[in-house]
Amino acid sequence: MALKWLDKRLKWVFTLPAVLFVALMMVFPLGYTIRLSFFEWSMSAINPPKWVGLDNYKELLSGERFWHDFGITFYFTFAAVIVQMVLGVLIAVLLNRKGKGKNVAKTIFLMPMVATPIAMGMVWLLIFEPSIGVLNTILKTFGLNPLEWLGSVNQVIPSLIIIDTWQWTPMICLLLLAGLTTLPQDPYESADVDGASAWQKFIYITLPLLRPTILVALMLRMIDALKTFDIIFATTQGGPGSSSETLNIYGYILAFQNFKLGLASSLLVLFFLLVLGMTLGVIWLRKRLEVAS
């Protein structure tokens, strides 16, 4: 009798662990954060959370600091992702060519991905150090003026983009390499017969065929870049001043330095909706391009 009951509900029994995992690890934290965004609370065990409705959202959206960090977040994300996508495509095409030492080059190239962000932040702090750093030593060797890198208001975001590009371009390259191996060879053979150059084959065959993989890589990297926290916190903590303070850093400051849990939660809810909206936008763009092609 029990076996018969189990057999009828087998599909529900097998999916139940996954549903429970999603509910515990994703839905509950999200629901708790949304609920907390309507309260004022300083993590006090004596004073319970106080209902304030939408006041946290109004305070956040009317503050200059939120919009400043909003701009910094998008500046960092779009600049980093564009540079990484261009480099990722070029390096993937080069690594996809036949040649000796290709597998060794792939292994070395992927090493930044396995490094811990905090450790790499410490290493890059030394590399960017204005007086003894490697980069300024190279600049001086060529007779150029040294830069302040992470210590400059104008140079800190480009410096962070360099670190992010060094660490995550291999992931773009890895995804695109997987896509390149699946491309059909017939168009290339026809192009060879017609006498097409390598550049023409890259522009008119490789890029159009690789477009779905490029959009997937773009979406994954954009989501990850928007959420970047560790490497920024390890190197600048949002400084100098607030010149590298992204929305994630601002949320951390509100929650764990100012102990404004309600305000921090409202910022995280807005940030979640922002990331979700951009992700849906990329998915919509991909479907439109598939229909158009």
List, in order of start, the domains of the chain with CATH numbers: 76-246 (1.10.3720.10)
β-partners of residue 39 are 51
Residue 193 CB burial class (10 angstroms; 0-12, 13-18, ≥19): exposed
Confidence of residue 235 (pLDDT cuts 50, 70, 90): very high
**Mean pLDDT across 177-189:** 89
The rounded percent of the chain whose pLDDT value lies above 90 is 55
292: its two tokens: 């158009």
Q: What is the dihedral of CA 98, 100, 105, 107, to 10 degrees?
A: 90
> Do the beta carbons of residue 161 and residue 154 sit within 8 Å?
no
104 vs 149: which has the higher pLDDT: 149
Q: Mean pLDDT in the chain?
A: 89
Confidence category of residue 66, pLDDT binned at 50, 70, 90: very high
Residue 52 has a pLDDT of 93
Whether residue 96 has pLDDT greater than 90:
no
Average pLDDT over residues 234-257: 93
b/e map of 107-139 (b: 16 or more CB within 10 Å)? eeeeebeeeebeebbeebbebbbeeebebbeee
Number of other CB atoms surrounding residue 284 within 10 Å: 10
Note the pLDDT of residue 1: 65
Residue 260 has pLDDT above 80, yes or no: yes
What tokens were used for 141? Answer: 């060797």
pLDDT in the model for residue 256: 92
pLDDT tens digits along 3-37: 777 777 777 888 888 888 877 888 889 999 999 99
